[in-house]
Structure 1
Amino acid sequence: MTANDAYLDRLVDEAALRAYLTAELGPVDEFEVAHHGEGHSNETLFVRWGDRDLVMRRPPAGETAESAHDVLREHRVISALRDTAVPVPPAVLACEDTSVVGGEFYLMDRLAGDVIRDREPERFATPEGRRRVSEELIDTLAAIHTLDYEAVGLSDLGRPEGFTERQVERWGKQFDWAYETTRADREVSHVDEIGAWLAANVPDSYEHTLVHGDFKLDNVMFAPGTPPDIEAVMDWEMGTLGDPLRDIGWLLVYWDPDPLSERLMPSFLDREGYLSREELLARYERQSGVEVSDPTFYLVLGLYMLAAVGEMFYARYLAGDSSDDLYPEMEALVPAVCRRAKALVDGDRTV
């Protein structure tokens, strides 16, 4: 048995899952489960159920930080957004019974298309195609932020008042949770200084909108064919109501022509056609009506979040709770992220 096979066994009891799906969807002859290793947070598994191709989302194996990996929140959001201007995968069912696979999970229909991570699809590799990829991405974020969330039944998804202040506190706690495990392995500098700067510089007011929470290029799927057209926005585990510029800061961390990690971030955004950060923000303002006067606070917040996420990854690696070969790289990446955030805090706007 390989390490990946052993980890798959920790993610799903195939006999228990088959019995559950038979009761919920009806019996079939063909049943297969495979682990999709591209994501780095919640686990994604492909399920073949008769003639249906499904996707399962469940938390990772092992201990996780409090409030992380809320897959049933994902299911609720994509169910509510199904008939809106925000494209999402069709939800199939959700299961709160952790005895079935060892954690809560939900299933959605598997869609055909491309998720752009480490390389651009050849059919988009022109200046016009790259520009349209950029425009589709930022226009879809504007559609999320201008959605009438009350009309689709999501008015209780979060508490927009005080959202940004709580984000600073939450991600500091997430980092601290992981650092209890990782601090013996190596030191990470500047975290407390960055957190203190963020707490002191939270904007006085901000818009209240639906927030995706993890919006970036590899969390959308582009439909087959040209021109580029987004088929679905995925990974809604942190969807909530709050400050839309929180999504902007996170997107800017990943939309970087000088990426901190080519494993996490696109390495091709300096090619002709891709919009610059400034062009993305200008188009976002036009499409959403939300002003972005100075994104520095939100970019620092995005880097602070990335440091916390990376440290949680590293803690899971040290605890033996993941087979993801990206996680060991967090030993060096998290300190590098904090150095970049500290440079921004200190007034360097070239990073």
Structure 2
Amino acid sequence: MTDDAPGSDTAADGEGRGDDVHVADAGREGEGSHGDDYLARLVDPERLRAFLDAELGPAESFALERHPEGHSNETLFVTHGDRDLVVRRPPPGETAETAHDVLREFRVVDALGDTPVPVPETLCACEDESVLGADFFVMARTAGDVLRGAEPVRFAAPDRRRRVGEELVDTLASIHSVDPGAVGLDDFGRPAGFTDRQVDRWSRQFRWAFEVTADEREVPAIHETTTWLTEHVPGSRPETLVHGDYKLDNVMFGPGTPPELVAVFDWELSTLGDPRTDLGWMLSFWHDPGDPEPAIPELQSTFTAREGYPRRRDLVDRYEAATGIEYEHDRFYRTLAVYKLAALGEMFFRRHLEGNSDDPLYPKMEAGVPALGERCLRIIEGDEGL
């Protein structure tokens, strides 16, 4: 998510109301006219407006824009009267089992509203698929910057860069310090056996994707990694609330300085489980000086190698001090992280082959996933250390 205002360059029929309805697809490079067709599969503007009128009260104006940055669940920016909103829904078409669970995301974000974990304000959720063709939820829009491809100019100083890393890891520590029972999440998952199930779950996601993608090319490094992970699951693990997708471009920093982390997004994979999976995931996206170029540059920025940003080891030390949780078995957790990213990529590739996405990143997974498989093997062999 970004703080760009929703666009309103394409008018939709207001059905004689005499008030404003605007719909736009911000689009992605190379989409052409296909973007409008895809947007129509995501949302019926009049049905969404009627739902919001019923839940939040009637509004004289309505504007809708699809956010182009996310690569999993779809994000729609909505202006409903004087409210700036975000709607989260799954992509269209068949999805892998347990993927894209936006109602699970709604539940955890709603539960964390009164905790130290910064989350957007939740407003309502909908299980009636006659509205948008899928479950969805609505939250208030948060102002600030997501650090995805570059750092904001106001952060381009060593002390502010250091603070970005500290805010990121401190917020992860606050997530792992939440008492699930105190916020109604004591039944949110099965922490016993969680890490074993992670390996099994993501290998099943691969199998689902390979049903279609294997006809295009094989990925032997993934099969080798699956075997290694299965044989090296740590025997003793802590248990906390976990985010499941915690990294720099899933959080937002407020518009001022010094850097302040104001919201954590994308909770669809959250559960109760092993917090070291979150830390390993975050570290796998953090680029240190001397690291190899990312296997998929669109999914990993390299600006954290600049002067001032903490190194991965610094982040681990700060996390351990804040939580009392020792980050053991680093090779396993970072390999699992890259393996999960590769599984997501292979699911993206299947969706591309089946015509269920217009994201220009998805066809790049034909080469990107094998490159991630090779990265898994480098971590396993100790060639890409902490």
TM over 0.5: yes
**Equivalent residue, structure 1, for 2:235:** 204
Q: Distance in 1 between matches of 2:79 and 2:372?
A: 39
Say yes or no: does 1:120 pair with 2:151.
yes
**Counterpart check, 1:269 vs 2:300:** no
1:131-150 alignment runs, 5 A limit: 131-150=162-181
What RMSD over aligned residues (CA atoms) do the two structures have, in Å?
1.2
Counterpart position of 1:31: 62
1:52 and 2:87 aligned = no
The aligned amino acid for 1:120 is: E
TM normalised by structure 1 equals 0.98
Letter in 2 for 1:302: A
Partner of 2:212: 181
Q: What does residue 157 of structure 1 align with?
A: 188
Identity of aligned residues (%): 58
Counterparts of 2:212 and 2:325 in 1: how far apart (Å)?
40
The aligned counterpart of 2:318 is: 283
C-alpha distance in structure 1 between counterparts of 2:83 and 2:384, whole Å: 50
Aligned counterparts, 1:244-263, within 5 A: 244-257=275-288, 258=291, 259-263=294-298
Residue pair 1:118, 1:262 contacting (<8 A) in 2 also: no
How does the TM-score come out when normalised to structure 2? 0.89
The CA distance in 2 between the partners of 1:298 and 1:206, in whole Å, is 12
Structure 1 segments, 4+ long, off by >4 Å, are none
Match of 1:75 in 2: 106
Identify which of structures 1 and 2 has the higher relative contact order when contacts are C-alpha pairs closer than 8 Å and 6+ apart. 1
Match of 2:341 among 302, 306, 321: 306
Provide the C-alpha distance between the structure 1 equivalents of 2:302 and 2:383, rounded to a whole number of angstroms. Answer: 23
SS, match of residue 283 in structure 1: helix
What is the SS of the residue equivalent to 2:138?
strand
For 1:266 and 1:342, the matched residues in 2 are separated by: 21
Aligned positions of 1:2-21 closer than 5 A: 2-21=33-52
CA distance in structure 2 between the aligned counterparts of 1:59 and 1:345, rounded to whole angstroms? 33
Q: Does 1:320 align with 2:355?
A: yes
2:137 corresponds to: 106
Q: Secondary structure of the equivalent of 1:151?
A: helix
Separation in structure 1 between the aligned mates of residue 346 and residue 169 of structure 2, nearest angstrom: 28
Once the 2 structures are TM-superposed, how far is the Cα of residue 260 of structure 1 from its aligned partner? 2.4
- How far off is 1:200 after superposition? 1.0
Distance in 1, Cα, partners of 2:103 & 2:264: 16
Q: Which residue of 2 aligns with 1:296?
A: 331
- The one-letter code matched in structure 2 to 1:307 is A
Tell me which moved more, 13-22 or 127-136: 13-22
Instruction: Give the corresponding residue for 2:369.
Output: 334
Give per-residue Cα distances to partners, 1:213-270, cap 9 Å, x unaligned. 0000000000110000011001000110000001011111111233322211112111
Q: How far is 1:349 from its partner?
A: 4.0
- State the aligned residue count: 351
Aligned mate of 2:380, from 339, 345, 348: 345
- Return the letter of the residue paired with 2:55: E
Tell me if the contact between 1:7 and 1:323 (Cα under 8 Å) persists in the aligned partners.
Answer: yes
2:139 partner SS: strand
Alpha-carbon separation, structure 1, partners of 2:329 and 2:125: 40
Give yes or no for contact 1:317–1:328 (8 Å, CA) kept in 2. yes
CA contact (8 A) 2:345 2:365 kept: yes
Q: CA deviation at 1:303?
A: 1.0
Answer whether contact 2:239 2:275 (CA < 8 A) is retained. yes
Q: Is the 8 A contact 2:287 2:303 kept in 1?
A: no
Q: Distance in 2 between matches of 1:288 and 1:9?
A: 46
1:192 aligned to which of 209, 219, 223? 223
Q: In the TM superposition, what is the alpha-carbon distance from 1:344 to its structure 2 partner?
A: 2.4
